[in-house]
């Protein structure tokens, strides 16, 4: 929200002493993101804006005066890349989780809900995030579907992207994920970059493992950022190539420790902090982008620069004027801290009003309305255990290997276990059946394969969160249990489930687009813990198994994935057979 002329007049009058301000924060130590210093000062607010900062304002008039007694004031944090849907809760509930921690803004890529419900899904999310004590900016999903090797619930072409780019809360075109298409110089993908630039907005990147000529070619398009670096060498190469480096610490993808040596003041405004995907358990126990600031400081990063990377740098990258700093003319989004090193918010101000204190929200949140566009979206084909059968053909098979704490996978080639002429799951070899079932009611396709590294010994796990097409993903050692899980999720309108011997052990309903619930974070967390416990009882050893399962269909990150079309070799950008010729 931009200030009005009246707001600006008031700020000038307050700074010059002609009118009293709304709030004077006396005896603060300001974290100055421009000089990376802590400065003893006084901060004078004029409604939603910072009017003035300086020692000369000790006796300034204000409607309210708060003596901070040397506490630190930092800018409100801004998460530079997050998929709000991956929190599994509504934007309002997400705000309740992160605002008391000092997060006052996020840049969200709603490509999860766009892949289910298209433009209507994006518009619902924008409507659901209005009126919050958290500013939510949007990047237009660029990859709906993310590849032609999957079935999504909707498609966003250039016309839809351009329509959404005109929205004032849209700040860019979201991560261009099909990097093989970019490197092939496909005109349709490159035009998305041009459309962003035509509107004066940022084209965002997604370039996992790219270095050398591939990286140069990807960035030659004008794509501005990347959040997929997992190694120090990869991150450094992207920085040196002029990329805005987003350092990520999500629930599954935890890259901050590897990239922390790059978080140095000499990199100025070229690095930002992002969460990408965070589950309710991590939001409750660790936080949002505030957790990255704390962890960066613990890893030895200069505290002032860690805060800058989580605030001003992100604002500057997206052209968010008046955000990310505590200075005259900036929006009064402030965090008061007892201890900068610990970075635990004592008070949080958004647009000059106190919105949270001592970890609790102090303002009422608007009630979320669910539109027809995002309701009842799970429509499965007729499904029987026989439909999941994999006839044996002889020879080895391609197997997806899940990698703990990463969205990357590996391809293995193994001799399958064959029984009665069909390839079957074999818990003794840690081989489970992996299934992707089209759930948008379009064609009823079923992709079938094998996965290892889950540790599953019995039953099945399933979810309708399946990046990025969000078809139903399931892993199991029993075809009957996979079918039981799928049918129950259809009845719930989507969600996550654990089944064994035909019985539901735990479940979480996600009736909004099969991705989101309107339940509180704590209730969702309790159900996720029950799901995790059920998975452990079934032998699962992989960390965050549902998050990991949801990414096994992501056909834009190497190496081997499964969509409803079949196995995808991501490096080739092509479907490959289960059996190795």
User: How far, in Å, CA of 429 to CA of 431, rounded?
Assistant: 5
CATH number at residue 17: 2.30.40.10
**Residue at which a domain ends, from 271, 291, 320:** 320
CATH number at residue 169: 3.20.20.140
What letter would DSSP give residue 351?
T
Q: H or E element: which one contains 506?
A: strand 503-509
Q: Maximum Cα–Cα distance for the chain, whole Å?
A: 88
- Is 141 contained in some domain? yes
User: Tokens at residue 393, please?
Assistant: 């053909």
| CA-to-CA separations, 579 to 431, 457, 520, in angstroms, rounded | 15, 24, 45
User: How far, in Å, CA of 264 to CA of 254, rounded?
Assistant: 19
Q: Which long-range contacts (CB under 8 A, 24 or more apart) does 567-570 make?
A: 567/398, 567/400, 567/447, 567/449, 568/147, 568/149, 569/411, 570/180
- Domain containing residue 394: 385-580
Contact (Cβ atoms closer than 8 angstroms) between residue 477 and residue 428: no
Contact (Cβ atoms closer than 8 angstroms) between residue 576 and residue 568: yes
- Using DSSP's 3-state secondary structure scheme, residue 62 falls into strand
User: How far, in Å, CA of 68 to CA of 72, rounded?
Assistant: 8
User: How far, in Å, CA of 492 to CA of 546, rounded?
Assistant: 17
Same domain, 106 and 200: yes
User: Tokens at residue 224, please?
Assistant: 């501005």
- Is 147 contained in some domain? yes
Could you check whether the bond before residue 554 is cis, i.e. omega within 30 degrees of 0?
no
Instruction: Count the neighbouring beta carbons within 10 Å of the beta carbon of residue 272.
Output: 31
Radius of gyration of the chain (CA): 24
Same domain, 390 and 422: yes
Same domain, 62 and 97: no
- Is 360 contained in some domain? no
- Is 330 contained in some domain? no
pLDDT value, residue 108: 98
- Is 504 contained in some domain? yes
User: How far, in Å, CA of 326 to CA of 334, rounded?
Assistant: 7
User: How far, in Å, CA of 170 to CA of 205, rounded?
Assistant: 16
pLDDT value, residue 290: 98
| CA-to-CA separations, 570 to 290, 555, 574, in angstroms, rounded | 33, 6, 7
Same domain, 208 and 227: yes
User: How far, in Å, CA of 475 to CA of 481, rounded?
Assistant: 10
| Count of domains observed in the chain | 3
- Is 369 contained in some domain? no
Q: What angle do CA 479, 485, 487 make, to 5 degrees?
A: 105
Of the candidates 537, 529, 527, 528, the residue with the CA atom closest to the CA atom of residue 501: 537
Q: To 10 degrees, what angle do helices 111-128 and 158-165 make?
A: 30
HEC letters along 97-143: HHHHHCEEEEEECCHHHHHHHHHHHHHHHHHHCCCCCCEEEEEECCC
Same domain, 91 and 44: no
User: Tokens at residue 258, please?
Assistant: 């590897």
Same domain, 56 and 81: no
Same domain, 150 and 240: yes
Of the candidates 405, 454, 403, the residue with the CA atom closest to the CA atom of residue 433: 454
- Residues with Cβ within 8 Å of residue 210, at least 6 apart in sequence: 179, 218, 234
Same domain, 182 and 275: yes
Same domain, 60 and 161: no
- Is 328 contained in some domain? no
What letter would DSSP give residue 331?
B
Same domain, 287 and 145: yes
**Residue at which a domain ends, from 285, 301, 320:** 320
* Residue 465 burial (10 A CB sphere; 0-12, 13-18, 19+): buried
pLDDT value, residue 231: 95
pLDDT value, residue 570: 92
Same domain, 62 and 108: no
- Is 184 contained in some domain? yes
Instruction: Count the neighbouring beta carbons within 10 Å of the beta carbon of residue 396.
Output: 14
User: pLDDT 10s digit of each residue in the chain, 581 long?
Assistant: 889 999 999 999 999 999 999 999 999 999 999 999 999 999 999 999 999 999 999 999 999 999 999 999 999 999 999 999 999 999 999 999 999 999 999 999 999 999 999 999 999 999 999 999 999 999 999 989 988 999 999 999 999 999 999 999 999 999 998 888 899 999 999 999 999 999 999 999 999 889 999 999 999 999 999 999 999 999 999 999 999 999 999 877 899 999 999 999 999 999 999 999 899 999 999 999 999 999 999 999 999 999 999 999 999 999 999 999 999 999 999 999 999 999 999 999 999 999 999 999 999 999 999 999 999 999 999 999 999 999 999 899 999 999 987 888 999 999 999 999 999 999 999 999 999 999 999 999 999 999 999 999 999 999 999 999 999 999 999 999 999 999 999 999 999 999 999 999 999 999 999 999 999 999 999 999 999 999 999 999 999 899 899 999 999 889 999 999 999 999 888 999 999 97
User: Tokens at residue 125, please?
Assistant: 């999310």
pLDDT value, residue 146: 86
**Residue at which a domain ends, from 320, 351, 371:** 320
pTM for the predicted model, two decimal places: 0.93
Same domain, 199 and 134: yes
User: How far, in Å, CA of 10 to CA of 20, rounded?
Assistant: 9
Of the candidates 489, 493, 456, the residue with the CA atom closest to the CA atom of residue 475: 456
Strands (E), 275-430: 334-337, 345-350, 353-357, 360-361, 390-391, 397-402, 409-414, 417-419, 422-424
């Amino acid at each position: 929200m931009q200030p009005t002329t009246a707001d600006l007049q008031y700020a000038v009058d307050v700074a010059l002493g002609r009118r009293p301000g709304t709030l004077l924060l006396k005896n603060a130590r300001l974290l100055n993101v421009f000089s990376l210093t802590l400065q003893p000062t006084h901060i004078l607010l004029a409604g939603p804006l910072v009017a003035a900062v300086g020692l000369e304002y000790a006796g300034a008039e204000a409607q309210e005066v708060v003596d901070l007694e040397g506490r630190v004031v930092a800018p409100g944090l801004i998460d530079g890349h997050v998929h709000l849907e991956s929190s599994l809760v509504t934007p309002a509930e997400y705000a309740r989780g992160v605002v008391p921690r000092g997060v006052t803004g996020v840049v969200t890529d709603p490509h999860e809900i766009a892949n289910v419900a298209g433009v209507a899904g994006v518009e619902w999310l924008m409507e659901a995030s209005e009126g919050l004590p958290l500013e939510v900016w949007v990047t237009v999903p660029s990859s709906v579907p993310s590849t032609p090797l999957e079935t999504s619930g909707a498609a966003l072409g250039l016309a839809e992207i351009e329509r959404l780019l005109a929205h004032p809360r849209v700040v860019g075109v979201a991560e261009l994920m099909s990097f093989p298409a970019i490197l092939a110089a496909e005109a349709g993908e490159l035009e998305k970059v041009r459309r962003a630039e035509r509107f004066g907005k940022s084209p965002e990147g997604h370039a996992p493992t790219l270095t050398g000529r591939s990286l140069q070619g990807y960035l030659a398009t004008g794509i501005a950022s990347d959040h997929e670096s997992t190694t120090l060498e990869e991150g450094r190469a992207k920085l040196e190539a002029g990329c805005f480096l987003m350092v990520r610490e999500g629930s599954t993808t935890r890259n901050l420790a590897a990239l922390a040596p790059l978080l140095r003041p000499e990199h100025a405004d070229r690095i930002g902090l992002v969460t990408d995907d965070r589950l309710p358990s991590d939001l409750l126990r660790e936080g949002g982008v505030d957790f990255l600031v704390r962890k960066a400081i613990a890893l030895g990063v200069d505290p002032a620069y860690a805060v800058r990377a989580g605030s001003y740098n992100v604002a500057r990258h997206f052209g968010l004027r008046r955000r990310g700093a505590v200075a005259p003319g900036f929006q009064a989004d402030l965090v008061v801290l007892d201890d900068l090193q610990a970075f635990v918010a004592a008070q949080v101000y958004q647009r000059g009003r106190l919105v949270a204190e001592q970890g609790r929200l102090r303002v009422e949140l608007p009630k979320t309305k669910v539109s027809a566009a995002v309701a009842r979206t799970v429509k499965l084909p007729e499904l029987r255990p026989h439909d999941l059968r994999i006839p044996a053909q002889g020879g080895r098979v391609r197997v997806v290997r899940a990698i703990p704490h990463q969205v990357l996978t590996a391809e293995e080639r193994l001799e399958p276990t064959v029984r009665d002429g069909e390839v079957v799951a074999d818990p003794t070899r840690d081989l489970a059946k992996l299934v992707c079932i089209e759930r948008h009611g379009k064609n009823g396709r079923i992709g079938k394969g094998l996965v290892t590294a889950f540790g599953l010994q019995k039953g099945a796990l399933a979810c309708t969160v399946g990046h990025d097409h969000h078809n139903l993903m399931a892993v199991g050692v029993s075809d009957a249990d996979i079918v039981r899980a799928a049918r129950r999720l259809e009845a719930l309108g989507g969600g996550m489930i654990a089944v064994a011997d035909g019985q539901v052990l735990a479940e979480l309903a996600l009736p909004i687009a099969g991705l989101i619930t309107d339940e509180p974070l704590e209730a969702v967390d309790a159900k996720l813990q029950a799901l995790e416990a059920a998975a452990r009882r079934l032998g699962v050893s992989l960390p965050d198994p549902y998050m990991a399962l949801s990414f096994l269909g992501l056909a834009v990150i190497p190496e081997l994935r499964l969509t409803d079309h079949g196995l995808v070799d991501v490096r080739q950008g092509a479907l490959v057979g289960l059996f190795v010729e």
